[in-house]
Structure 1
């Protein structure tokens, strides 16, 4: 009961954020490879109509899904699969090659970061980390399948080290991964890791020390299954993919159909990680818009520079916005689960509802990621190829592709498709939980409202003029 009022305030804050999005004034601002937005074309229609149409699309999709009440049909859709090939025929060779490639790339990234060229668009370290690891690998994970367990260089190194000196504390679940993901994004925003190769190399060395130390102390499997943010991130993104591994066989499934599997998430920390995936993409997108830059500039200017230096104020502002936004997004989903249980009056616990519906949000996170990072990967792919060919001596002015005008429509479509997959997964989950068709449909309403809120916020962000986040070096 003591948490009900804060949760209600959280969902109300999210709603008001959506409302304010229609009226906020945008201003111009002037960092980084991943935090610099490309120019966006102005909307040809009123913003309120654009946002309303996006939100209405999700609402209408949920309404149409409610007419599909045949349990057998719903189950067959999400359980459909076709085996491709057995894993044991090629797993050993692919694993060895993948591990070697992963370790080699890690060593090269650190080496080039320190002694290679210091130009962002020509640095092997920055291009591989952001165009490759930040953009391309997650896209591969949710569009094809998760290949990170094979490429993960830290896991490969940990396998040859003495490990397992302590038992991983089960009570902390995957909270270290949640904290790790938020910390990585915070570092990406605050420090020039995407523009200064030496800073990036130092950050990777720090991450390597923490990761390998954790794997040595707690064991390889416990650490990478619970505490390592990258391993958890790729595993969850992989749940959206149409290619899954089951019983020693590679299977093809419908995209997003795996999100009805209750075993994907097992704890509140898993839910927090999924929300963190959505929020970090929303936050990164927001601060690269004119509205985000204007918000930061206004907040930084509140306190006189004579009292607190501008850089300190900016760090505090970015941190507070990042943490508070995550808590608001998390509270919105938390309150939706509470409201769902109240509306249907079910014996099913609120915790079960939270864990059961949360995997559907992974499709939303995948749609957000594609909208924000597909363009980055495509535009930098020629430079990435050149850097791979010659890591220490790439061309000083590598080729950077200019995206066609229609690519903005693809970003909007990816957000909507992600939400539509989420609606379908949530619909199937509700029919798994509840025997009554009416109760199953009603239980989805609060979650659909939260999805509409997420949709409108994300569509609003990509509709704004781009800007470079202020006060970041």
Structure 2
């Protein structure tokens, strides 16, 4: 079998697997998020022709990219291009001080106004800023522009001013504490009512602050916020997709979006893979439970006799385990398919950064319309935190916004395929090995994308029994 035939079969098999994603009949694009879902509940119509055409074009481009873009020098030029913007020391220190003050002020207002402000979620500063501002808007800023959390993080600001580092962090744990923390925070967001009750949110933030400061003071801020703190790890991994990064030596380093996923060795073990997978899964989970179909499925199981929280818990943890297991399985299949001295673990680590591109695409699809529709409410809360408006303004978005959700998911998929393609050519000296090694991972990415496209095509609903 010659090389051309092998490339053609690879592309055809990848395209065939991808076309399964087009079987999902689009109904409407979901813009609901768990927080403030009732304030932004419009279902955004997605034209079927656009859904199919965009999906087909992106999937076809993925197959062509994986099969025919084989010039190593071109691939190297794309992901290694960079430029720097020098900043004066005074400017950098000033920006750091501004960020620290802003972070402390926001934390103080969230806790204080969560307890003392109006207890209606669409009027309370804590609810609006936490979910429309931080959960949606600031996360998007982190991966679209740059990660500024190190400067803004109020708990790091406090911990660095106090005596710390009394014990050494157990590095054998890696980032597993952060994985558990992210899962716990999303569970609290979904099941504990913090998106509807400002005083409950304030209690949760205050409790989180105490635990975070104790941990940072015990093992030191650097180890705690790099490995154990779920919010910091969550934003750190998203920030790797951003084009701009703060560099202590050069000021600002600018690169093409997502290219640090190829060159930076941030992912080193299974715990880091789990972080990447949980960023994909938590959005899939919250997307599913806020759709009419998801609500109907959960209702049917609960009515059969199982407690609601047990149903949610099994779905939540079981789905995460399935997503993680599917990805690890892809690494084992890859080793079986090609002749290589690479271990399944090494390949799983190598290709894991591509999952962050999928997470970015789905986060945009999940939160972009939500953030835009609530932007007047957020601006009002930030400019007048002590004077909530009597009638908060929510934007009604045009129908074409639904098409953006589909585009975001598919662009994330395409970026993920490019990252995997670049990683393969950086790992294997043989061109055929590089091409064949990608297939199991790209198929897993396509599966994630199928699920994402299906969820953004469904009408929204409130999660039942919560």
TM-score (norm: length of structure 1): 0.89
Q: 1:16-415 maps to which residues of 2 (within 5 A)?
A: 22=24, 33-35=35-37, 38-42=41-45, 44-45=47-48, 50=51, 54=55, 57-58=58-59, 60-86=61-87, 88-246=89-247, 247-303=249-305, 313-415=307-409
Measured on the aligned residues, the alpha-carbon RMSD in Å equals 2.4
Is this contact kept in 2: 1:40–1:463, CA < 8 A?
no
Choose 433-442 or 368-377, whichever is displaced more: 368-377
Residues in 1 aligned to 2:46 and 2:81: alpha-carbon distance in whole angstroms: 40
Residues in 1 aligned to 2:35 and 2:82: alpha-carbon distance in whole angstroms: 39
Residues in 2 aligned to 1:59 and 1:340: alpha-carbon distance in whole angstroms: 22
In the TM superposition, what whole-angstrom CA distance separates every residue of 1:301-335 from its partner, at most 9, and x where no partner exists? 111xxxx7xxxx11111111010110111011111
Residues in 1 aligned to 2:179 and 2:220: alpha-carbon distance in whole angstroms: 19
Choose 289-298 or 87-96, whichever is displaced more: 87-96
In the TM superposition, what whole-angstrom CA distance separates every residue of 1:87-145 from its partner, at most 9, and x where no partner exists? 63521111011101100110111000001111111111011101111001111111100
Is this contact kept in 1: 2:283–2:363, CA < 8 A?
yes
CA displacement at 1:452 relative to structure 2: 0.8
Is this contact kept in 2: 1:367–1:416, CA < 8 A?
yes
Is this contact kept in 2: 1:145–1:244, CA < 8 A?
yes
Residues in 2 aligned to 1:23 and 1:60: alpha-carbon distance in whole angstroms: 22
Counterpart in the other structure of 2:412: 418
CA displacement at 1:55 relative to structure 2: 6.7
Is this contact kept in 2: 1:33–1:120, CA < 8 A?
no
Distance 1:257 1:25, change over 3 A: closer
In the TM superposition, what whole-angstrom CA distance separates every residue of 1:38-57 from its partner, at most 9, and x where no partner exists? 332455439xx957973773
Query: What secondary structure, in the 3-state scheme, does the structure 1 residue paired with 2:246 have?
Result: strand
Residues in 1 aligned to 2:367 and 2:259: alpha-carbon distance in whole angstroms: 24
Choose 385-394 or 266-275, whichever is displaced more: 385-394
Distance 1:25 1:464, change over 3 A: closer
Is this contact kept in 2: 1:52–1:456, CA < 8 A?
no
Residues in 2 aligned to 1:235 and 1:130: alpha-carbon distance in whole angstroms: 18
Is this contact kept in 2: 1:116–1:393, CA < 8 A?
no
Is this contact kept in 2: 1:379–1:401, CA < 8 A?
yes
In the TM superposition, what whole-angstrom CA distance separates every residue of 1:231-280 from its partner, at most 9, and x where no partner exists? 11111111101112344331211111111125111111010011000000
Counterpart in the other structure of 1:447: 441
Residues in 2 aligned to 1:175 and 1:87: alpha-carbon distance in whole angstroms: 38
In the TM superposition, what whole-angstrom CA distance separates every residue of 1:23-51 from its partner, at most 9, and x where no partner exists? 9999xxx99535557332455439xx957
Is this contact kept in 1: 2:374–2:395, CA < 8 A?
yes
Is this contact kept in 2: 1:51–1:459, CA < 8 A?
no
Query: What secondary structure, in the 3-state scheme, does the structure 2 residue paired with 1:83 have?
Result: strand
Query: What secondary structure, in the 3-state scheme, does the structure 1 residue paired with 2:378 have?
Result: helix
Query: What secondary structure, in the 3-state scheme, does the structure 1 residue paired with 2:86 have?
Result: strand
Is this contact kept in 2: 1:59–1:448, CA < 8 A?
no
Is this contact kept in 2: 1:344–1:442, CA < 8 A?
yes
Unaligned residue ranges in structure 2 (runs of 5+) = 1-16
Residues in 1 aligned to 2:362 and 2:295: alpha-carbon distance in whole angstroms: 20
1:457 to 447, 451, 459: 451
TM-score (norm: length of structure 2): 0.90
Counterpart in the other structure of 1:429: 423
Following TM superposition, the consecutive aligned residue runs of length 4 or more in structure 1 with deviations greater than 6 angstroms are 23-26
Query: What secondary structure, in the 3-state scheme, does the structure 2 residue paired with 1:245 have?
Result: strand
Distance 1:337 1:34, change over 3 A: farther
Distance 1:87 1:226, change over 3 A: farther
In the TM superposition, what whole-angstrom CA distance separates every residue of 1:386-443 from its partner, at most 9, and x where no partner exists? 1122223211211111111111111111111111111111111101100001110100
CA displacement at 1:167 relative to structure 2: 0.5
How many residues of Structure 1 are paired with residues of Structure 2 in the alignment? 443
